[in-house]
Structure 1
């Protein structure tokens, strides 16, 4: 028995310990959850903001192409008139400074384009049949007029990848990312083929845009002190990054405008640990970046610190297929929480020390008179009661003193009666012992008593031995659902569940209980009834199953099941059934068909299904209950 000297201080101090500890933990946990929610929202908002910027930035060239094609169809622009195209490209680039090169090439090998080669400096590049096979480059003034020839070189647009790509696909699309010849930057080309009325290709319009502006935008984006953002292609190569680093690694310079650039920087090789670690986590988590087709958020540990990641695929239907990744370290926002936790811990420690001292003092004041009463009670038990032992406590004027006076009066009376009770108790014990001995002798004299006990023992041993000899594999093969299973599949099925042996009249499950198992009858039989209204439903025998309705649909048991004879069941819990249904889709369909036969029972449970939020599509349930059952099974078991 626990001493009152320990229990009273504990009852005073422990609740304070618990209250302070729980309050501190809840405060820390609440703050941590709030920070996690804030960081997750921030990472998602950063990702969405980047997506909006990318969509806007990458949309301009395609819009220009749409306008160009519309102008050609309406007759306002003639692709064969290079003078008109020269003016058109000039005004086009003046309107949008993100375009660094706008040009056109045709099937005759002719070419015209305006290119930004330096800040504010533009040149005209042109090749016409009457000028030979050379492409000439002219410097342009602020009004777009030619002021002098800069260079002459061989060039045929029909052999270029951007031209071939547009010719092959036959629609507005994007080129692969490559390094521009005129500038040491990565860029991408939007191309749009133009066709003659007869349907033959006339030429291709193209617009180059630099991806450096995307990196500048990411670099200037306020994420968090240690946060990072980057854009990658499905191959894992970096398109843009919030970290200033060279996106072209050292090596041989690839052919200008080449769609295959082996010297692009992979995200997993970034100099930034956050970007590098996040890229590796994406590959480990999704195996292949091509499998990320929807927005994803997750968190992972990098160097002991949790990172929250938001991933957004961006596709424009014209060949653009990138992933936007925003990473926010949880530690950037946890400093306040840890500081608050330290202050709370110090205040809690002070409160606990004060509460402990106060609790011990209060306990001592309460315990002393109680211990005196306890010692007196022990003296009474030992027959050594001294009426003067409570003098100090009796003289108190509070409730304890009143209790002591009553206790003293009671003690005098009890002590006087105790001796008589001991004598009577001894006599009663003797009489009881005599009666027990007489009853035992009477039972032993009755031969039927031993005979019935022996029969019951033999029957129990016999059943136990019989059940041990049951071959569960052979019994499972007799069940229609498993007749096509091989020996190894039967053994795998046995490993998923377990055998359960019941005697007549035992309950397997009861209505309104949570459905946690699926039962198959291997030997014996059961009866199914509604216990609340005492309504018999049916009997089930070998090879049948039950319990699937509540387990598969996630609802309480709808009936009570009780054995009618010695019964052997094969039991699958939720995890085992889920594994079985995933491995054997045909079995899932058979069970769904069997569930469909319970339509009347499901109808009676419609109100319960609605209350549990399982029947949002009531019309679909009424029109196609089998489809509803399949969908519910797929939701619960991930089929």
Structure 2
């Protein structure tokens, strides 16, 4: 069977075939084991997180059960003492002293008795430390400040009045709500702010008491400060890295483990916060996402376990309802970041990955070592064969440890020796011929390059010379008739004024008596003719002056009479060149005019070849105009209007010995590859027939060789192009014109 030469079978390296399957098997096994270990660890972490959070929420619930049962136990004891006659409610100071002793035994904020008559008494810790006794009398016009707060001695006896204030007992929530309920209840959480004491935010337990005839005596109450719940939550282990907070069913914060308080003080008034408005960003984010997951907190009857994302980090969250028999219905929220539990798993995973890579590297090295022992003799034979095929006949195969390959190596080396002998003879005969051909080729290349450069220079010089002669000839031919017209306009103006005076005089004396003259004056609109004639002559004079300026600029540009160095005004050459190119700058149907911005410095007279320097200016300006035209073709009218085409010409004195001309455009610019070849002969980016590629090369030669200056180009894509021309102010005469 004949195989077609073009048919190819994809081949692999022998070393690759030996190493890759072994490495892939090892990597797959280790990766699978690592993945299963990670998933098992993740499951174990989830179980651990659930256990820890359940333990935390259980600990919080136990604390709430114990701590919040104290107020109701205290008011039960006080109600029983009053009912059994152990406390005389009319002896308010004695009752207050009794409450003072209770305050020493219980961690409460305030214990009170508010009678139905408006009187009352109580003991409290307003500053969190000192226990004082309050005595509330009935408020009357003669006694507007009906409440006295007493300091006490170590036995609870009132010593002196600390403050007096106004207190309307019968209208306070701690009195009205228990009376309305008729049973022990929790009064709604309320706040009180006094700058002299810490913020007062409490949960108050109230119990109405009645006499034997079921007549209301008053209400006994006990209050706890809710900040103590926050202090407890902050001491939990989970609070070091997570958040625990308690909120009511309407979302209002009761307590939290964050350092930020669950309320704010605005204008001397305590304002409770909802969990979603907490200043703590983690707590706030957890609350917001809970609100999205559970729109109605009233529906939470059992523990809710969620996994949410907080500020780009996964959190485990448990929402546990807590209730007591007296009406409190709160939600305990425990949230901990996943990384707290996953840190060790991630560390173990990283270690596993490192071990995998280590095992992979070791296995790869062993595989490479083994494959080399097998493949090296075959690879040497392959490399030697390829080297001989590409002409390196000095190759030989060394002997190895494999007998069959040694026999092949001997045969191969013998064949190589015969080939070397044959090629040596052929190389000797070709070496001399190649040397001669190479020498002639170098000479021809050098001659051809010099010829092309000379031809281009001659062609460009002839073109510029012809242009200069044509411009000079046109300027000369136009100059004489224009001067003739311009000189006679003054006389024509004078003669016209004389004739007009004659017409005015004639009109005054005769025109009104001759109907034929009057009719002719109306037919030719004599008044308009006289008025317009006086405007035409100044316009003609202005036009001839403009033509004379153009002719002068054309003669300045051609400089046919200035073949040697001459001190000239550089700005005149620039203006003359711009005038020649004025048709390129004007607006066209497909684009607006190109704006020329001139920033001329104060330049001295510069010695140069004026005509050749004008040629350089024209080449640079034409390149800029071509670049702007190319860009405008690709842009819409709105884009052109937003960023109009512009050429900036700046002249300045570099130092005391040279001046600088900078010509910049805001076109598309050039890539670095084009910029590096911009001054090479015959290099052009323009289409065939649009340019020879010699303009910038000749300009570079004129500036550097003829004037001893510099021609630099700076450009980048999207930033435009900036050409810098630097020429000396004073030139040294070339050696070939020096006279001995």
Task: Using structure 2 for the length normalisation, give the TM-score.
Answer: 0.45
In structure 1, the residue matched to 2:186 is: 174
CA distance in 2, matches of 1:86, 1:251: 33
CA distance in 1, matches of 2:55, 2:358: 42
Distance apart, 1:82 and its partner CA: 3.2
Distance apart, 1:328 and its partner CA: 0.8
1:272 equivalenced with 2:280 (yes/no): yes
1:325 equivalenced with 2:360 (yes/no): no
103, 126, 130: which one aligns with 2:135: 126
In structure 1, the residue matched to 2:297 is: 289
In structure 2, the residue matched to 1:55 is: 65
1:192 equivalenced with 2:207 (yes/no): yes
| Contact residue 112 and residue 222 of structure 2 kept, 8 A | yes
CA distance in 2, matches of 1:75, 1:249: 44
Q: 1:120 to 1:343 in 2, by over 3 A?
A: closer
Which 10-residue stretch deviates more, 173-182 or 99-108?
Answer: 173-182
SS at match of 1:240: strand
CA distance in 2, matches of 1:226, 1:119: 29
Deviations 1:134-179 (A, max 9, x none): 2333222121112123344443311111111001111111111122
Q: 1:354 to 1:124 in 2, by over 3 A?
A: closer
Q: Which has the higher contact order (CA 8 A, sep 6+)?
A: 1
153, 161, 168: which one aligns with 1:149: 161
1:229 equivalenced with 2:238 (yes/no): no
Supply the RMSD in Å over aligned alpha carbons: 3.4
| Contact residue 297 and residue 310 of structure 1 kept, 8 A | yes
| Contact residue 225 and residue 332 of structure 1 kept, 8 A | no
SS at match of 2:262: coil
CA distance in 1, matches of 2:129, 2:403: 106
Deviations 1:187-222 (A, max 9, x none): 121101112222232210011211111111112222
SS at match of 2:272: coil
SS at match of 2:149: strand
1:29 equivalenced with 2:44 (yes/no): no
| Contact residue 110 and residue 156 of structure 1 kept, 8 A | no
CA distance in 2, matches of 1:285, 1:271: 21
CA distance in 2, matches of 1:230, 1:8: 62
In structure 1, the residue matched to 2:255 is: 240
Which 10-residue stretch deviates more, 197-206 or 114-123?
Answer: 114-123
CA distance in 1, matches of 2:273, 2:139: 43
CA distance in 2, matches of 1:167, 1:277: 40
Counterparts of 1:231-630 in structure 2, within 5 Å, are: 231-253=246-268, 263-356=271-364, 358=366
Distance apart, 1:247 and its partner CA: 2.8
225, 234, 239: which one aligns with 1:219: 234
| Contact residue 224 and residue 332 of structure 1 kept, 8 A | no
| Contact residue 219 and residue 242 of structure 1 kept, 8 A | yes
Task: Using structure 1 for the length normalisation, give the TM-score.
Answer: 0.52
| Contact residue 282 and residue 289 of structure 1 kept, 8 A | no
| Contact residue 121 and residue 140 of structure 1 kept, 8 A | no
Which 10-residue stretch deviates more, 143-152 or 115-124?
Answer: 115-124
CA distance in 2, matches of 1:130, 1:3: 107
Structure 2: segments with no counterpart, 5+ residues = 1-8, 377-401, 405-740
| Contact residue 136 and residue 153 of structure 1 kept, 8 A | yes
Q: 1:173 to 1:277 in 2, by over 3 A?
A: same
